[in-house]
Structure 1
């Protein structure tokens, strides 16, 4: 079921299904809720799913001006307060994961557990395996055809508005996000960090994200790319559900987890 919520920042399209504790799914850049199709049945069997489409994505209109992750996180906070009505689990894929991180930093009271899939915390030049790919991305390039079609099919702004959105999104990736280990150490929510073994983000960058978060688990899915939720849905869904179910991680020979809970940052010396 879909509807619009009149949030302070933007009139936001969202869909809901399932029952139980709320779980908000945050899609990737240039994407729509349809890209969560392989997750929705399994997750809706256990949770009340909320799927908002961010400003300038899917059915949600553009609002003009620069596109920033900070504004998108503000929209997410407003959604949690006005539509969900309280704290929820957040699962974010790619740009959606960046938004989830910033939401958890801005309003830890509204975030219970986090799932971050293919997420960077620094700009593309520092995080991507091939940052030069941005130079080849233009609104009318062949590589953008899939996203152009997604946009044209449902955007209330019409297909002619696509170049304005695409250009500003690519500009955003060049300079955002700009978090550091100190910022990440402030995330309170238990977090599952997930990546394909051939993701857009370097494994080193993903490992840095995992180590900097105070309460994190790391999953590197073999034989998968940045599209791991589509490529390995059974594995991804199982790990998401296990993480959201809670419980402390207990291993026989802890190293990073051997430190005391009061020590900030997973990369700190025990």
Structure 2
């Protein structure tokens, strides 16, 4: 079921389903809630799932000015306060993972546990396997066809507004996010960092994210890409549910977790 919520000047479309503790799914950049189709049934069987579409995405209209992860995190805080009504688990994919991290930094009281999938904490030139891929992206390029179709099918601003949104999103990817080791160490929500072994983000960058967080687990899915929730839905769902259920990780031969430092994170973040 979908509806709009007026959040600090952003008329935000969201959907809800299921029963239980609240869980917010944060989609990827230029995507819509449709991309969560493989996860929704399994997660809604255990949680009250909330799916907001961010500003200039899906059914949510664009706003004036540049697009930023910080503003999107602010929208997510407002959504948690006014729609969810309190703290929730967050699962963020790609850009949604960045927004989840920033939300946890801004309002730790509103974030219980997190899963971030294919997320980065530095801009594309510093985190992407092939950073020059952005040079080939324009609103009309073949690489943007999938996103153009999603936008045209849902946006209340109409398909003619697509170039304005796409251009600003590409600019955002080039320069954001700009988190550092201190920011990562300040995130206190227990976090599962998930990636495919052939993700857009380098494995080194993902490892730095994992090591930089105060309380994190790492899952690298073999034979998977940045689209791992679509490629390995059952495996992804199982790991999400296991992590959200909580409990300490107990291993027979702990190293990082044997005597974790208080700061920064549990290791060095590049």
Please indicate the TM-score interval, normalised by the length of the shorter structure: over 0.9
1:205 aligns with 2:221: no
SS in 1 for 2:4: strand
Alignment match, 1:87: 87
Task: Normalising by structure 2, report the TM-score.
Answer: 0.98
Structure 1 distance, partners of 2:158, 2:263, is: 50
Map Cα deviations across residues 108-150 of structure 1 (whole Å, 9 max, x no partner): 0000001000000000000000000000000000111110000
Q: Does 1:41 align with 2:41?
A: yes
Aligned residue for 2:21? 21
Match runs of 1:11-160 below 5 Å:
11-160=11-160
| 8 Å contact from structure 2 (residues 134, 170) kept in 1 | yes
**Quick one: distance in 1 between partners of 2:64 and 2:58?**
15
The answer as to 2:235 corresponding to 1:235 is yes
> Partners in 2 of 1:250 and 1:4 — Cα distance?
43
- Matched length: 268
1:225 aligns with 2:229: no
Q: Is the 8 A contact 1:114 1:192 kept in 2?
A: yes
Rounded Cα–Cα distance in structure 2 between residues aligned with 1:126 and 1:232: 27
CA contact (8 A) 1:9 1:75 kept: no
Aligned to 1:251: 251
Q: Distance in 2 between matches of 1:180 and 1:251?
A: 29
CA displacement at 1:9 relative to structure 2? 3.5
Deviations along 1:67-93, one digit per CA (max 9) or x if unpaired, are 000000000000000000000000000
Q: Point out where structure 2 has 5 or more consecutive residues left out of the alignment.
A: none
| TM-score (norm: length of structure 1) | 0.98
**Runs of at least 4 residues off by over 6 Å:** none
Distance 1:257 1:178 in 2: 27
User: Is the 1:113–1:190 Cα contact (8 Å) retained in structure 2?
Assistant: yes
> In structure 2, how many angstroms separate the alpha carbons of the residues matched to 1:29 and 1:23?
19
C-alpha deviation, 1:260, in angstroms = 4.2
